Amino acid sequence: MPTALVIDDNPAVATALEVLLSLREIKTLSAESPAAGLAALDREPVDVVIQDMNFRADTTSGAEGAALFRTIRERFPDLPVILLTAWTQLESAVELVKAGAADYLAKPWDDNKLLTTVQNLLELSETKRELSRRRDAESRRRTDLEQRYDLRGAVFGDPAMERVIALACQVARADVPVLITGPNGAGKEKIAEIVQANSTVHEGPFVTLNCGALPGELIEAELFGAEVGAYTGANRAREGKFESADGGTLFLDEIGNLSPTGQMKLLRVLETGRFERLGSNRERQVKVRVISATNADLQAMIRAGTFREDLYYRLNTIEIHVPPLSERVDDIVLLAKHFLAPGKRLSADARDALRRHSWPGNVRELKNVLQRAALLATAPTLTAADLALPEPPAPEALDRGTIEAALARAGGVIAQAAAELGLSRQALYRRMEKLSIPRE
């Protein structure tokens, strides 16, 4: 049951409020002086304070009530306080609201308004506590991950990325192929590094090959090696990536670019651990953990006949999907600070601009934006103008679903959701009211 503390030197007021609040099953404590009220706050938890502005020693100015509020604010900064004031002290009450009071009500108060105000504050407090508990739990999970595993310097704070990294750590010790999917620049290679670093072969080599960076005829030579004369220009024997990765891990990026012949040979290696160099009939045996990555829709490629279905299921024993940066809002500013040049920092409007941007190039684009801004900016503090990011879509285009999704990602924190949507808090509140989205 939530608890309200009434601090008023008029016992009739305390009794009336106790009866009124009991209608909403709210327990009421009472104190007849500021000192007694502060003592009550020290004794037991309270969810909301309703305090008078005028006490017997100060019946007109409200100075004692103002001093009480400021003390509560200093000692219990998250505790909502409602001020009860006479009409003559309205100006003082307004100033205290600016200083952090939750609201003020003039005496005699309206019962319905007081009940609604108290109920809204209690619900808001519970939402904040739940968000705090959630963040504390997330912090503990991140700390646990950092202590138990080698995260290869990964920078993250968003729950979506935390889940990805936790899964990578979980599957790392299983000696099975892993397929990492997600858009370009989202951090797929970093996830591959985490899998390798926490695997049973972490002391072995970690070899990478970007299958999209080479012509099809050279990818096979890179993978399996080649003998002299195997292709034009092959004037010496060379070992391939599989031989180099023997006893360790081979990371194949952009696996969807592998040629049909390369796909067939890769499937054979995954099934048997055996392969032949180009231009050779001698089989070679290796033991390699294969991690692959792609930004392509491999199932669509299977339907189109450009990717082998049997190879897909060999590669996809475990799939880890890395979401785009636009779905990891809590990571954006953390990563930006990580990429900042020494001596540079971000202004508030720069942080807001970073959160509003859609980041089609993901982490890679973010890094480039920060590097360019740091080179061109003359001041140590980077502003939104220094980042030179395009303006977000007009707020009028925001529908109910978009706003609710942003609120969910922000855990109900209006300021964070507003920044992501490119709105001020007041504009977001107006849009929510127009679309009948409750503030809670």
Tens of pLDDT, residue by residue over 5-18, are 999 989 999 999 99
Is 132 inside a domain boundary?
Answer: no
Please tell me the number of Cα atoms within 13 Å of 86 on its side-chain side.
Answer: 11
Mean pLDDT of 427-434: 81
Give the burial class of 35: count Cβ atoms within 10 A of its Cβ; 0-12 exposed, 13-18 middle, 19 or more buried: exposed
59: confidence class by pLDDT, cuts 50, 70, 90:
low
Does 364 have pLDDT greater than 80? yes
The CATH number linked to 309 is 3.40.50.300
Based on the fold, state whether residues 198 and 219 are members of the same structural domain.
Answer: yes
Q: What is the pLDDT of residue 61?
A: 60
Does 217 have pLDDT greater than 80? no
Based on the fold, state whether residues 315 and 293 are members of the same structural domain.
Answer: yes
For the chain, how many structural domains are there in total?
4
Based on the fold, state whether residues 315 and 235 are members of the same structural domain.
Answer: yes
Domain boundary among 321, 338, 363: 321
The mean of the pLDDT values for the chain is: 89
Based on the fold, state whether residues 215 and 233 are members of the same structural domain.
Answer: yes
Based on the fold, state whether residues 206 and 62 are members of the same structural domain.
Answer: no
The CATH number linked to 332 is 1.10.8.60
Domain boundary among 263, 296, 321: 321
Based on the fold, state whether residues 375 and 399 are members of the same structural domain.
Answer: no
Based on the fold, state whether residues 206 and 315 are members of the same structural domain.
Answer: yes
pTM of the shown model: 0.68
Q: What is the pLDDT of residue 369?
A: 96
Based on the fold, state whether residues 107 and 44 are members of the same structural domain.
Answer: yes
131: confidence class by pLDDT, cuts 50, 70, 90:
confident
Based on the fold, state whether residues 255 and 190 are members of the same structural domain.
Answer: yes
Dihedral sign, Cα of residue 122, residue 123, residue 128, residue 129: positive
Does 236 have pLDDT greater than 90? no
Is 136 inside a domain boundary?
Answer: no
Based on the fold, state whether residues 171 and 43 are members of the same structural domain.
Answer: no
Q: Which domain holds residue 410?
A: 395-434
The CATH number linked to 36 is 3.40.50.2300
Is 135 inside a domain boundary?
Answer: no
Based on the fold, state whether residues 310 and 195 are members of the same structural domain.
Answer: yes
Based on the fold, state whether residues 178 and 300 are members of the same structural domain.
Answer: yes
Is 235 inside a domain boundary?
Answer: yes
Domain boundary among 321, 338, 371: 321
Q: What is the pLDDT of residue 294?
A: 97
Tens of pLDDT, residue by residue over 91-104, are 777 888 888 888 88
Is 207 inside a domain boundary?
Answer: yes
Which three-class secondary structure string do you get for the chain? Answer: CCEEEEECCCHHHHHHHHHHHHCCCCEEEEECCHHHHHHHHHHCCCCEEEEECCECCECCCCHHHHHHHHHHHHHCCCCCEEEEECHHHHHHHHHHHHCCCCEEEECCCCHHHHHHHHHHHHHHHHHHHHHHHHHHHHHHHHHHHHHHCCCCCCCCCCHHHHHHHHHHHHHCCCCCCEEEECCCCCCHHHHHHHHHHCCCCCCCCEEEEECCCCCHHHHHHHHHCECCCCCCCCCCCECCHHHHCCCCEEEEECHHHCCHHHHHHHHHHHHHCEEECECCCCEEECCCEEEEEECCCHHHHHHHCCCCHHHHHHHCCEEEECCCHHHCHHHHHHHHHHHCCCCCEECHHHHHHHHHCCCCCHHHHHHHHHHHHHHHCCCCEECHHHHCCCCCCCHHHCCHHHHHHHHHHCCCCHHHHHHHHCCCHHHHHHHHHHCCCCCC
Is 277 inside a domain boundary?
Answer: yes
Is 311 inside a domain boundary?
Answer: yes
Tokens of 95: 């100033």
Q: What is the pLDDT of residue 182?
A: 95
Is 142 inside a domain boundary?
Answer: no
Mean pLDDT of 191-218: 91
